[in-house]
Amino acid sequence: MEEERIALFVDFENLAIGAREALGGMEFDLEPISNALAERGRVISRRAYADWSMFADARHAMTRSHVELIEIPQRMGATRKNAADIKMAVDAIEVAFEREYVTTFVICTGDSDFTPLVHKLRELNKKVIGVGIKGSTSKLLPPACDEFLFYDNLEGVDPRRATSAKTANDEETRDTPEPETLITTTLGGLLRSGQGEVLASSLKRAILRKDSTFSEADYGFRAFGELLRHLESNDVIELSEGPGRGDPVVQFSSGGGGEQEAFQLLHDVVAQLAGKNGPVVMSGLKNQLRKRQSDFSEKKFGYGGFLQFCKAAATRGLIDLTWDESVGDYSVSTR
């Protein structure tokens, strides 16, 4: 299957303000979007539109992410907003006509003014993926797109975490994820994107889009296939014969021994907390699981977040999961 070639267009002001107002004061970060797109294809163009004099700190972060910054000169009120909208729409249509090899357009905004642009791109036989903040996205925009991703739900975004406090070193080093976590989260994303069977070669390309420095040699493996076989022996994934020699199909283990143990851990912890403190809410529940099992992570099993893991447990009849308006959180109980 030929991989998608993606052009990314970001209405930065819309997302930055939306994240600050709707997600508890947190700052907009492009990385969760970049990781989600890495599972869908190769991003060949990245452009972000704003009056960058208003976003000095973000400007440096976006530049490090290899985004072309399109400057919209300072004007008053709606005039400035319209200038950004028009420039972004014109550029997207220009790319659609001049670069026929671009198959997918990602429009990052919650503004319904971009709905006509989405319609036009689809008329030109382009796939359109929208990305927006759930609390500030117009209801008109998502149905117009082939796919719409709410930023709040992307892996790596925690709406409860406000990022008002910054570290002294803006380029602090990040922990390198374990290969099992990196492979299972990427595999889960590829399967959720509905691209059919996932080949080992496709999985490796998606991982490299997330982390271009990834190398199985860093973990003591001589080849990517050897790493996959190691994970298969630990009942994390299953490998089956693919269309090409040495390029097997990768899927999650049907046995799911470790996953079943994790579900049982969730059930037991919820039962214990309910016995001591009454009703259990999801906030802080993951930390309670880690007190019992320090290395617990739902990402080992390919889940994009803890909420998705809990929903899977509810589907399997282990827990009940209901939204409680009075506390603004999910209530969790055992069955």
User: What 3-state class would DSSP assign to 236?
Assistant: coil
The pLDDT, as a whole number, for residue 168 is 35
Residues 8 and 147 in one domain: yes
Tell me whether residue 173 is in a domain.
Answer: no
Q: What residues are paired with 128 via a beta bridge?
A: 105
Identify the domain containing residue 211 by its residue range.
179-252
CATH code of the domain in which 218 resides:
1.10.10
- Please give the C-alpha separations between residue 251 and each of 70, 144, 188, in angstroms, as whole numbers: 41, 32, 9
3-state secondary structure of 101: coil
The residue among 197, 220, 252 that closes a domain is: 252
In this prediction, residue 201 carries a pLDDT of: 92
For residue 46, what is the domain's CATH number?
A: 3.40.50.1010
Instruction: From 173, 212, 210, 213, select the one nearest 34 (Cα to Cα).
Output: 210
Number of domains in the chain: 3
- Residues 6 or more apart whose CB falls under 8 angstroms from that of 291 comprise none
Same domain, 227 and 106: no
Angle at 261 between CA 328 and CA 239, to 5 degrees: 110
**What are the b/e assignments for 98-110, b being 16+ CB within 10 Å?**
eeeebbbbbbbbb
Residues 12 and 146 occupy one common structural domain: yes
Stated as kind and residue range, the H or E segment containing 198 is strand 198-199
Is 47 in the same domain as 128?
yes
What tokens were used for 139? 């209801």
What distances in angstroms separate CA 76 from CA 80, 114, 123, one per listed residue?
6, 21, 34
Q: Are residues 128 and 115 in the same domain?
A: yes
24 lies in the same domain as 51:
yes
| Last-in-domain residue among 201, 224, 252 | 252
270 and 247 within one domain: no
Distance between CA atoms of residues 267 and 261, nearest Å:
10
Measure the CA–CA gap between 15 and 137, rounded to whole angstroms.
Answer: 9
Following DSSP, what letter does each residue of 17-79 receive, concatenated? HHHHHHTTTPPP-SHHHHHHHHTTEEEEEEEEEE-GGG-HHHHHHHHHTTPEEEE-----HHH
Give me the tens of pLDDT residue by residue for the chain, a chain 335 residues long. Answer: 578 999 999 999 999 999 988 887 888 999 999 998 998 899 999 999 998 888 888 998 999 889 999 988 765 555 556 677 899 999 999 999 999 999 999 999 999 999 999 999 999 999 999 999 988 999 999 999 998 989 988 887 876 544 443 433 443 434 456 788 889 889 988 888 877 889 999 999 888 888 867 888 878 888 899 999 988 888 888 999 988 888 999 998 876 557 888 889 999 999 999 888 778 898 889 999 999 998 888 877 777 788 888 988 888 888 998 888 888 888 999 88
Write down the pTM of the prediction.
0.64
Positive or negative torsion for Cα 297, 303, 305, 308? negative
Evaluate whether residue 311 is within a structural domain: yes
As given in the structure block, the two tokens for residue 259 are 């996953």
Quick check: 159 and 152 in contact, CB under 8 A?
Answer: yes
Taking the CA atoms of residue 250, residue 255, residue 261 and residue 262 in that order, the dihedral angle to the nearest 10 degrees is 30
b/e map of 162-188 (b: 16 or more CB within 10 Å)? ebeeeeeeeeeeeeeeebbebbbbbbb
Q: Do both 231 and 291 map to the same domain? A: no
